[in-house]
Amino acid sequence: MNKTKRFCAIALAAMMAVTAFAGCGGTPTDTQTASGGDTTASTGDATGGDTTAADDGDPLLGEGAAGPISLKVWGPDAAQAVLKDQCARFSENMKAYGDITIEVVPQGEADSATQVLTDSSAAADVFGFACDNLDKLVTASALLEVTGADADFVKSSNSEASVNAATKNGSIWAFPETGDNSYCLVYDKRVVSDEQAKTLEGVFEACKAANKKFVMDAGNGYYSCLFMFTGGLKIDGLEEDGITQKFTDYDETTMVNTMLAFHKLFTENKDYFLNGEVTKIVDGFKSGTVGAGFDGSWNFSSAKETLGENAGFAVLPTINVNGTDTQIVNMFGYKLLGVNASTAYPNTAIELAKFLSGEECQKERAEQLNWGPSNKVIAESETIKNDQALSAILAQSAYSVPQVGVAATFWTPVGTFGSKIADADNPLDEAACKEIITSTIANVKDE
């Protein structure tokens, strides 16, 4: 049974004012509720009763448990300082309900789901994860469902796409944390002009003129999926078995022509193309050997620090396919905050996840960490409009395939697919491209 349904009346009353508490700002006085309202913790419940926080220990937070509450939160290394500050303020805001100790522990979103599924009892109560892990976490009953006023909060506060990413089988299972889990073009403005950044041909032209490299991790399925997506072959969730990848219908001729266009461009510019890990982009900016690359939002701060005012960010460029400038299409995901179904304090953990996903906390992370928001208000704020990197990554979502319903078998074959397109030493023709497409789809479904 979903533990979050067992809120006592005072919890329901507190959550009626949740919009005032959605963010991180401000510390309430002793007469404020958890939601930042002005009803005291010792007032009567919503039905007119006399339930108080002191009567049974901590009814809102601990479901009747006496004594202090201890929670663990997982977040990436780069976010530790911000998360610790936000969690400390949550504890302070909730002090009317009792003592809450929150331990913030480094754990990247890429591995958190695996760690939860390996040993949920040792995992964090609240943890961030990439949205493509939602299916397996829900299937394993590893997440608490987000219901009632909490679900309404998620839907009213966040972009439709991020809410969809947190939803499975009609139910919401997590709180959207970011709206930027993707990549775009990052470039040195001294090498690549804003106009040249609009086309991949222009990017290579600029890099060639400056004798610098363009970097893409073409052997990594997360990046190489752009080859097939740009050509019109896209993923379409999972089959009924919850394991096998579904693909959309596609035009084989368009796919082949797109593959050949990428391969031709890489081959013609092989002296200025580096097929390597994204870490080589900022490293190359530092050494002066790289002019541009396809890099993830998590590295934006490093690029800014390295290039300063010369750091450029733009949506992925176009590529010319048989005379037509075609928009490059990639994968776009969202980072979510989930609550471990094994937590000893489900109500507190839900409230904490809601707090961390709120408007002000997302604003702080946008300003301090360059994380793109899922929150609709922050996405339209001056903070985002005045930041070229965040504006670019949010704009990229319009040219992308949602990172949901991705089979575990997808990544390796698609990485191999990309490596073949990027290999300038092994020329491709129409027949070879058709074979690569067929074998890739088969390997994704049968691996």
More confident residue, 51 or 391: 391
Which residues make up the CATH 3.40.190.10 domain(s) of the chain?
Answer: 3-173+335-373, 183-332+403-446
Q: Label residue 240 by pLDDT band (50, 70, 90).
A: confident
Q: pLDDT tens for residues 297-340?
A: 989 989 999 999 999 999 999 999 999 999 999 999 999 999 99
More confident residue, 24 or 442: 442
Q: What is the mean pLDDT of residues 176-186?
A: 95
pLDDT recorded at residue 5: 36
Coil/strand/helix, residue 165: helix
Residue 147 CA to residue 164 CA, distance in Å, equals 15
Q: Label residue 61 by pLDDT band (50, 70, 90).
A: low
pLDDT above 60 (res 282): yes
Average pLDDT, the chain: 86
pLDDT above 90 (res 65): no
More confident residue, 77 or 59: 77
- CATH number for 183-332+403-446 (one of 3.30.70.1400, 3.90.1150.110, 3.40.190.10, 3.40.50.300): it is 3.40.190.10
Assigned token pair, 6? 């067992």
Contact in structure between 78 and 301 (CB atoms under 8 Å): yes
pLDDT recorded at residue 447: 62
Q: What would the DSSP string read from start to end of 358-414?
A: SHHHHHHHHHHH-PPP-BHHHHTSHHHHT-HHHHHHHHHGGGEEES-S--TTSHHHH
Cα of first residue to Cα of last residue in the chain, in angstroms, is 35
CATH class assigned to 3-173+335-373: alpha beta
Least confident of 5-19, 42-56, 192-206: 42-56
**What is the value of pTM for the model shown?**
0.79
pLDDT recorded at residue 53: 31
pLDDT recorded at residue 39: 28
pLDDT recorded at residue 31: 26
The residues, any chain, with a CB within 8 Å of residue 276's CB and separated by 6 or more, are 215, 217
Q: pLDDT tens for residues 73-100?
A: 999 998 999 999 999 999 999 988 889 9
More confident residue, 67 or 433: 433
Least confident of 239-243, 292-296, 361-365: 239-243
Q: What is the mean pLDDT of residues 389-398?
A: 93
Q: What is the mean pLDDT of residues 378-384?
A: 93
Assigned token pair, 408? 């575990």
